[in-house]
Amino acid sequence: MVVLGQEVSDPLSILTRGFVFDRRFRIINKIGEGNYAKVFKVKDQITDRTYALKVFKPEFIDDPKFPEIFKKTFESAKNIKHDNVVELYWASQDVNGLYYYVMEYVDGGSLSDRISQGSLLISDAIKILDDIINGLAYLHGKNIPHLDLKPSNILLTKDGKAKNIRLHDRS
């Protein structure tokens, strides 16, 4: 794939600190990576807001089924508004054809990160579990299954509120 006039084998490798993705989102840092995508903390050059940018790996550009899956996932999630579910703002493709979602940025790390720091107080664990259950109940009430519930897919705000990430394996 040609990116910025150069042939690159992995176009996501150029997404480093300071790079402006799709002429709008300045990369601050990479915050995660999975089988399907990389996720970055970005600053929107137009609104000056901070978001999470999920950029799907380039192999999906040529997958004839992916555009429909991408669109259906966005359509099912775009109107989900709940304190315990990460909000999805929009979906698009960049000039190179890479698919991406722009999502709420959650500033406290994952539950997995928190657990690795040591044991949780019982009161904190109960609050986090309550938040997870509330988010999941809301999603299930909308007929949207989570599909990949695990500590690394539960994000925590700095004040300790848990937010489910609902898009990891929908795509």
Q: Give the active site residues.
A: 148
Q: Residues 96, 1: contact at Cβ < 8 Å? A: yes
* SS3 of residue 127 by DSSP: helix
68: left (phi over 0), alpha (psi -120 to 50) or beta: alpha
* Alpha carbons 58 and 15: distance in angstroms, whole number: 13
- How many of the other CB atoms lie within 10 Å of CB of 157? 14
* Alpha carbons 144 and 139: distance in angstroms, whole number: 5
* SS3 of residue 166 by DSSP: coil
CA 58 to chain centre: 17
* Alpha carbons 7 and 21: distance in angstroms, whole number: 17
* SS3 of residue 158 by DSSP: coil
